[in-house]
Amino acid sequence: MEGDNVYLPHVMKIEKVIRETQNIKTFHFNFKDESQKSKFSFKSGQFAEYSIFGEGEATFCVSSSPTRMDYLEFSVMKAGKVTAAIHELQEGDEIGFRGPYGNWFPLELLEGKNLVFVGGGIGLAPLRSLIWNVLDNRDTYEDVTILYGARSPADLSFKYDLEAWEKDDAVNMYTTVDNGDEDWTGRVGLIPPVLEEIGPSPENTVAITCGPPIMIKFTLMSLEKLGFTNDQILTTLEMKMKCGIGKCGRCNIGNIYVCKDGPVFTNAQIQNFLSNEF
Amino acid sequence: MGYKKIKKDQLKTLFNELSKDCSLFVPSGSKGYVGFDPWDGNSADFTEWYRNTTIPPKALFFPPVEAMLRFRKGEAGYEIEELLPNGRPQIVFGVRPCDARALKITDTLFSDTYRDPYYLTRRENATIVGLACNEPCDTCFCTSLDISPGESQDVDLLCSDIGDELLMEAVSDKGEDLLSKMSGLSEASGEEESKAKQLGDSAKEKITRQIDTSGLLDKMRSSFENREYWEDVSRKCMSCGICTYVCPTCHCFDICDENNKKDGKRVRNWDSCKFPLFTRMPMENPRHEKWRRIRQRYHHKFEYFQMNFETIACTGCGRCIRECPVNVDVTEIIGGIQAL
């Protein structure tokens, strides 16, 4: 879109639909107007407002890596009106897209560090953007450990990524499920105890975590037990958003606006939020 | 440029003239409540009956409902049409000093980091003609927030009602420009100037309601965890949202799509932090309890906004006190916090 109207969406074409789980889908998408593509850039951790015309907008991160710009990706759990409409999307359909918004994972602070990624459920979406970003510049970082968990084998998203990371000698990959089934031969256990069992050293390490609130709560406790300080823990927060640019007034936690000041925060920043409403 | 004056019975002629080249808005009761309506060629007597509007002038720049874009699906897929305001110059006549300040406050929000082209296009095309207050309402407390009923630096041109005449003083270049285009004005005398000043001073004295803003940031801070206080002050609130609707600085909005997938509009609507759905997400709602929403509103106005934009987002216009169906009173709530 020409001009500087921040609310005008780009029209994007859905190129591929991947069913991740019973209620999560991933979409590959691209600019309908190719001339816009070269002007677009984003960083891992940023989000956008996606829309189904006639249904409305919803907020999701860009889940692909900025190192892989052939197409963009976003992943959606079916939960309400707009997400239900998104789940109806077929290859070739068009959506609205405006962004990227918000801050990003501070790559320069991660350089030369061991990285521990801890993701739960669809919480792997923002992490995988960063993971692929890191793996595409593998020499810049030290050890890479990924722990991913979901409720059951059927709830594991991004299985193609898990497989790739499993095969990658430069990645310590751990997958776990809360409850297995008859075909599951892998690890069974909640993320926090599994994390403690793996026991990554906090020395020269940053942990990056995203997942459901209850998982985050106990993961933070486990990281603390392992000796991680709040400065060594990054997470990305989720709040109800509409504008994405700090004006519509709903995503604040105290004076901090998750859309504009976040969504990526260190745990130290979160602990220092003046008004911890939640 | 010094003070000019115009006879009130000449206002109609002036308004007819001004409205030739621009959209002119004046206070009017034609909708059953007092708001700023387009000049109808007729009712120039608002200086005689009006104290302040029910709906603040923010509605002219940030309308309760506005179409942002139109989308249409044709053979080649979706086409998006931007629906920006037309850019026609606007004059808003009769804005009170509290509301002029409120516009400056919402200006900071809508121009921060990302320009909001809908609001700002209208603002940039507008000239604000203020009208000093001679008779404040008993709900007014603007003087607690560094606002004077008799003067304003937040308008482009300020009028003072000195009886049969309005005194006019340009405050900005825009105001100067407008003043130079007005016909039917004459020079005001020093005596008339003093009269306007006296009326302003006396209006100031008539304002007895107040809030104490000294040390308020710290007090707000320490009241945050006082759940008992917030539960107590929110007990009678019905979550109707009228306080946010009539507030000149409340700016929360929703964006939604209207009509169908083939041809529709994306629309921005006023929303309210008083509504439980405002922050509802599929799995949780951080402010599902009423006291949390009330706390959010007052903390936003008196703490967060001040931290982020160096001004309290309240101008003491008193509308929320006047319109609240259950008499929730912001001055009592802030007073209560100061007394904690």
How many Å apart are CA B37 and CA B29, to the nearest integer?
8
CB A218 within 8 A of CB A192: yes
B70: closest CA among A85, A9, A98? A9
Query: Which residues are B36's β-sheet partners?
Result: B27
- Integer-rounded Cα radius of gyration of chain A: 18
Cα–Cα dist B317/B98, whole Å:
6
Phi and psi at residue A137, in whole multiples of 5°?
Answer: -130, 50
Query: What residue type is B110 in one-letter code?
Result: F
* Closest B-chain CA to A260: B113
Spell out the domains of chain A, with CATH numbers in brackets.
Answer: 10-101 (2.40.30.10), 107-236 (3.40.50.80)
Q: Residue B262: list chain A partners with CB under 8 A.
A: 54
How far apart are the C-alpha atoms of A65 and A129, rounded to whole Å? 4
Instruction: Give the residue extent of every domain in chain B.
Output: 4-206, 216-339
Burial of residue B49 (number of CB atoms within 10 Å: 0-12, 13-18, 19+): exposed
Q: Which residue of B has its CA nearest to A255?
A: B304
- Cα B58 to chain center, whole Å? 4
Sheet of A56-61: strands edge to edge? Answer: A56-61, A47-52, A94-101, A10-19, A24-31, A72-77
Strand pairing category for B77-82 and B23-28? unpaired
Secondary structure class of B267 (helix, strand, coil) = strand
With CA atoms as reference, report the closest residue to B188 among B170, B171, B165, B158. Answer: B165
Q: A227 at the B interface (CB within 8 A)?
A: no
Q: Which of B105, B106, B244, B254 to probe by mutation at the A interface, max A CB count within 10 Å?
A: B254
CB pairs under 8 A between A and B: 132
Q: Which of A94, A212, A254 sits opposite B304 (nearest CB)?
A: A254
Q: For residue range A27-78, what is the model confidence (pLDDT) as tens digits?
A: 999 999 999 999 999 999 999 999 999 999 999 999 999 999 999 999 999 9
> How confident is residue A273, by pLDDT bands cut at 50, 70 and 90?
confident
Q: Does residue B76 belong to the interface with chain A, where contact is any CB pair within 8 Å? A: no
Amino acid at B84: L
Q: How far is CA B115 from the centre of its chain?
A: 19
Residue A1 has pLDDT above 50, yes or no: no
Which DSSP symbol is given to B262? S
Q: How far apart are CA B274 and CA B239, in angstroms?
A: 5
What is the model's pLDDT at position A274?
A: 65
By the 10 Å C-beta count (0-12 exposed, 13-18 middle, 19+ buried), A112 is classed as exposed
* DSSP line for chain A: --SS-TTPPEEEEEEEEEE-SSSEEEEEEEESSHHHHTT----TT-EEEEEETTTEEEEEE--S-TT--SSEEEEEE--SHHHHHHHT--TT-EEEEEEEES----HHHHTTSEEEEEEEGGGHHHHHHHHHHHHTTGGGSS-EEEEEEESSGGG---HHHHHHHHH-TTEEEEEEESS--TT--SEES-HHHHHHHH----TTEEEEEES-HHHHHHHHHHHHHTT--GGGEEEE-----SSSSS-SS-SEETTEEHHHH-SEEEHHHHHH-S----
Chain B hits for A54, Cβ within 8 Å: 71, 257, 259-262, 264
CB-nearest to A277 from B71, B113, B292 is: B292
CB atoms within 10 A of CB B317: 28
Q: B-contacting residues of A 92-111, CB under 8 Å?
A: 94, 96
Give the minimum alpha-carbon distance from B228 to chain A in angstroms, rounded to a whole number.
Answer: 15
Q: What CA–CA distance (Å, rounded) separates A52 from A86?
A: 7
Phi and psi at B210, nearest 5°, equal: -155, 165
- The B residues from 113 to 132 touching A (CB cutoff 8 Å) are 113-118
Task: Indicate the range of A24-33, A34-43, A255-264, A267-276 predicted with least confidence.
Answer: A267-276
* CB interface of A with B, residues 27-56, below 8 Å: 32, 51-56
Q: Residue A2 pLDDT more than 50?
A: no
Q: Quick one: DSSP state of residue B189?
A: P
- Predicted confidence at residue A222, as pLDDT, reads 97
Contact B279 A240 (CB under 8 A): yes
Q: Note the ipTM here.
A: 0.92
**First-to-last C-alpha distance (Å) of chain B:** 50
pLDDT digits (tens, 9 = 90+) for B126-161: 999 999 999 999 999 999 999 999 999 999 999 999
> What's the pLDDT tens digit per position in A75-96?
999 998 899 999 999 999 999 9
Tens-place pLDDT, residues A168-181: 999 999 999 999 99
Look at B254 and A242 and tell me if their CB atoms are within 8 Å.
yes
Type of residue numbered A34: E
Residue B25 has pLDDT above 50, yes or no: yes
Percent of the residues in chain A that have a pLDDT greater than 90, as a whole number: 93
pLDDT reported for residue B1? 56
Length of chain A: 278
pLDDT tens track for B217-266 = 999 999 999 999 999 999 999 999 999 999 999 999 999 999 888 999 99
Return the residue in A6, A7, A59 with the most chain B beta carbons within 10 A, the one to mutate for interface testing. A7
